[in-house]
Amino acid sequence: MTDGHKSQIEKRIIIRSIERKDFEEIIKLQHACFPNMKPWSLEQLESHIRIFPEGQICVEYDNQIIGSCSSLIVNFNDYFEQHTYAEITDKGYIRNHNPNGENLYGMEVMVHPEFRRMKIGRRLYEARKGLAEKLNLKSIIVGGRIPGYHKYSDKMTPREYAEEVLQQNIYDPVLTFQMMNGFTLKRIIINYMPDDQESMRYAALLEWNNIEFKPAKSKLHYKVSFPVRICVVQYMMKKIGSFEEFATQCEHYVDVASDYKSDFAVFPENVTMQLLSFLEERSPSLAVRKLAEFTPQYVELFSDLAVKYNVNVIGGSHFVERNKRIYNVAHLFRRDGTMATQTKLHISPNEQKWWGINGGPNLDVFDTDCGKIAMMLSSDIEFPELSRIAAQEGTQIIFVPFCTEDRQTFLRVKYCAQARAIENQVYVVTAGTVGNLTHVENVDIQYAQSGVYTPSDFSFDRDGVAGECSENTETVMMAELDLEVLQRYKKTKDALTIRDRRTDLYSLQIRS
């Protein structure tokens, strides 16, 4: 037989890493394997190969993907044994992947129904074991479905069903296969996957131990702490004569933040309104358009300060003109020189009446070198849906630059910030303006007491307050927030306001 004829009839099985070009095929494979369950989204698949490409494996046969498996690394001791699939996989985005972990957690194995007599599943499991051995991981852990249980649920408990499968009195297409591949049953997990009706929402916690595992004394088993230092700037609104004078004041505060080795310097909402003190425009609607002309100088100033002083700067907010409309925009200036923006979504009647401000189109969550953050200007924190969405997207710190003119308005911001910290198990940082611009229309008085708020529990500061400024005083305040404590707190058995939601009664939907 010639090589040419051989290549025409030869059909090779190739085991390789999943690539971006495979995403559509992977989604089709999921539809074929699990027709009643929601498949991966493109965003989740992108996250998999960006965060842990080695753990995403597929089997290719005759130029077709017929099987795949997905994994991440965790320290399983950091999680409850009664965890959910959403918790252990970060809702399928694996942003909780821990390269220093000891356990490979198997998210999914699937084999196309037409190719289930070719030992494709076994090949995938062997590939996973090889990866665990290569990375010197202690074990592979999976929350295995028990899809045959619904046929026996009226006769036996899930544990009894699993024991019958172990004794080979019952065949379960998943559990039996896992037992045959060296996994041992640890326990039954309750409410593992809400949409897995075949398993009646139960799963079997199974583990395969790597007998070649060599504990490394120098290996970090978990992070003891991940401190993030915050410098809150309670900014004084007072008359100035030029942009250069404004720049000098802002640099002073960023310098102070840097001296204290802060990770973030946080300025208040409408901080650039101080420029109106020398623009000499009495009409508020025209004044904000003049203010918008300073956007390039504002961006250049804070970008340079963030890099120069090695501090991530929340540059308060600045009015920006887009397509002849004015928006109130929060700015994040990262210390690596990159920038991100969040447009205010909920515009107050005062902003609409005096300034003609428009609401933004969407809420974003931003990556920083200190975890994921969100920015919500003033009244945005008063709408609980926004903070819940941000928390679901992995936000750990919500920054709230605000500008209020009286105590009642300020207290709405403060109390809602504290509520959002408790509801969503996140840190919330507020920064407000003080002082007076008596000669500027609608910016005449300010009221603020900036603060840093935490969940209310034993792991955090008393009263859920990490620190607060003195009222109506030009000052800065430092607070240190531990993201590792926050992460561990989310897995305790105490007040779990995220985990214990009654999603069978209510849900939050985002309209695109």
Question: Are 71 and 140 in a shared domain?
Answer: yes
In a domain, 172, yes or no: yes
Cβ atoms of residues 497 and 424 within 8 Å = yes
Question: Tokens 């920038």 belong to which residue?
Answer: 339
pLDDT computed for residue 287 by the predictor: 84
Q: Is the pLDDT of residue 222 over 90?
A: no
- CA 125 centroid distance within chain: 30
Question: Is the CA virtual torsion 244, 250, 252, 258 positive or negative?
Answer: negative
Question: Are 95 and 144 in a shared domain?
Answer: yes
Question: Are 290 and 187 in a shared domain?
Answer: no
Question: Are 442 and 329 in a shared domain?
Answer: yes
Question: Are 305 and 393 in a shared domain?
Answer: yes
Q: What does the mean pLDDT of the chain come to? A: 89
In a domain, 169, yes or no: yes
Question: Are 77 and 142 in a shared domain?
Answer: yes
Q: How many CB atoms lie within 10 A of CB 199?
A: 24
Q: What is the pLDDT of residues 82-96, one digit of tens each?
A: 788 988 998 899 989
Is 0.75 topped by the overall pTM?
Answer: no
Question: Are 388 and 337 in a shared domain?
Answer: yes
- The letter for the amino acid at 177 is F
Question: Are 160 and 277 in a shared domain?
Answer: no
In a domain, 108, yes or no: yes
Question: Are 168 and 235 in a shared domain?
Answer: no
Cβ atoms of residues 418 and 464 within 8 Å = yes
Mean pLDDT over residues 341-357, rounded? Answer: 90
Q: What is the pLDDT of residues 445-486, one digit of tens each?
A: 899 999 999 999 888 988 999 999 999 999 999 999 999 888
CATH of the domain at 124: 3.40.630.30
pLDDT computed for residue 3 by the predictor: 46
Q: In angstroms, how far is the first alpha carbon of the chain from the final one? A: 58
Question: Rounded to whole angstroms, how far apart are CA atoms 470 and 460?
Answer: 21
- Comparing CA positions, the residue from 75, 26, 71 lying closest to residue 52 is 71
Question: Rounded to whole angstroms, how far apart are CA atoms 499 and 424?
Answer: 10
For residue 425, give every residue at least 6 positions away whose Cβ sits within 8 Å of its Cβ, in sequence order, or none: 391, 455, 486, 489, 490, 496, 497, 498
SS3 labels along 183-224: CEEEEEECCCCCCCCCCCCCEEEEEEECCCCCCCCCCCCCCC
Residues of the domain holding 22: 10-209
In a domain, 504, yes or no: no
- Quote the number of domains for the chain: 2
pLDDT computed for residue 458 by the predictor: 84
Query: ∠243-244-246 over CA atoms, to 5°?
Result: 65
- The letter for the amino acid at 32 is A
Question: Are 239 and 147 in a shared domain?
Answer: no
In a domain, 347, yes or no: yes
Mean pLDDT over residues 155-165, rounded? Answer: 93
Q: What is the pLDDT of residues 17-72, one digit of tens each?
A: 999 999 999 999 999 998 888 889 999 999 999 999 999 999 999 889 999 999 99
Q: Which of 175, 209, 243 is the last residue of a domain?
A: 209
- Comparing CA positions, the residue from 175, 145, 512, 470 lying closest to residue 361 is 512
Q: Is the pLDDT of residue 11 over 60?
A: no
Question: Rounded to whole angstroms, how far apart are CA atoms 67 and 87?
Answer: 25
User: Which DSSP helix (H) or strand (E) runs through 251?
Assistant: helix 243-259
Q: Work out the percent of the chain whose per-residue pLDDT is above 90.
A: 69
pLDDT computed for residue 497 by the predictor: 72
E strands, 215-324, are 227-237, 264-267, 312-322
- Comparing CA positions, the residue from 89, 69, 78, 184 lying closest to residue 130 is 69
Q: What is the pLDDT of residues 177-206, one digit of tens each?
A: 999 999 999 889 988 988 888 999 999 999
Cβ atoms of residues 358 and 321 within 8 Å = no
Beta bridge partners of residue 207, listed in sequence order: 141, 184
Question: Are 245 and 359 in a shared domain?
Answer: yes
